[in-house]
Chain A
């Protein structure tokens, strides 16, 4: 379909990719709406999260921690730490997109895994902007719409646990985690994180065990740093 081979890639290809990502992930708002309502949050609270937080893993983490009886600040802390990665996407996007100062506060809200993936895959500023905008818009609209539908549906179902919907949250986390487990260090961090949270769960207040488990990242990084320094002397000096 590409008529002008000198203009890579065709806008239609960028739009198609952006729409594909936006639609597929946007529909997962349904799982969030159901999980959030099942965790006892009201319709307004559930929709406020999708509208204002708009970064899926953080939203799931927050409702999970609240459902477990965590206090608002430990629950928010876990969600916040998961959101920190978006700062690093922004860092890489700011040069590529060259967002004008006036638009920055708006564009920032859409800086998430999916918009970054699409934008960073583009070769130049124009197509990166196009990919970012279309992914962001599609995802934002669909994510919020399906959150609303999911929350309404869950309230209509009554006991969401009987329908197995309490397994949606952990399944979402697992699906987000799986592609990150590419290396030995990542697997060690995940394993230690699981161990820490299960050990702390019966003895620490709700919300705190997950924060303790976050320490698996610096712990493994420190040990790994020592080991590589030991085997490859001089490499890091």
Chain B
């Protein structure tokens, strides 16, 4: 049930902000500070989520095979690998390190 509540709230919230953008008159959200903050918010969140899901089991910090996998994914990104290749590299390296 908890999961369905989270799905419902997320779906409603994400849809409403999409609709809001298309519906409000230009200028309302166009203040430079608001725009800048909206561009930086995803940066903070994505960086935090990457770190959290790489170095934590949800409760405690820990270092395991995922760190190697995500590190390999970072290398793939530096080498300009396509999106799906980056994800595949992370999965394969993580599985490989675990199998050792």
CB-nearest residue of chain B relative to A80?
B13
**Which residues of A45-99 are within 8 A (CB) of B?**
45, 48-49, 52-55, 57-58, 60-62, 64, 66-69, 71-73, 75-76, 78-91, 93-95, 99
How many chain B residues sit at the interface, stated as a range, is 35 or more
Please, how many angstroms separate the alpha-carbon atoms of A12 and B91 in the complex? 36
Inside 8 A of A53's CB, which chain B residues have their CB? 7, 10-11, 14-15
Check A162–B18 contact: CB distance below 8 A.
Answer: no
CB within 8 Å for A189 and B40 given contacts A164-B90, A209-B52: yes
Inside 8 A of A105's CB, which chain B residues have their CB? 19
Choose one: A25, A28, A57, A202; the contact of B60 (CB below 8 Å). Answer: A202
Main secondary structure of the interface of A (DSSP, over half): helix
Please, how many angstroms separate the alpha-carbon atoms of A183 and B55 in the complex? 25
Q: Taking the complex as formed, is A170 at the interface, i.e. its CB lies under 8 A from any CB of chain B?
A: yes
Please, how many angstroms separate the alpha-carbon atoms of A111 and B21 in the complex? 9
Interface centre among B24, B58, B59 (most CB of A within 10 A): B58
Please, how many angstroms separate the alpha-carbon atoms of A87 and B59 in the complex? 33
Check B3–A167 contact: CB distance below 8 A.
Answer: no
How many chain A residues sit at the interface, stated as a range, is 35 or more
Choose one: B2, B14, B69; the contact of A171 (CB below 8 Å). Answer: B69
Please, how many angstroms separate the alpha-carbon atoms of A67 and B56 in the complex? 12
The 7 A-B pairs at the shortest CB distance, nearest first, are namely: A90-B21, A164-B95, A68-B58, A164-B94, A213-B48, A171-B90, A72-B6
Chain B residues near A (Cβ < 8 Å): 2-7, 9-11, 13-15, 17-24, 26, 29-30, 33, 35-61, 65-66, 69-70, 73-74, 77, 82-84, 86-87, 89-96, 98
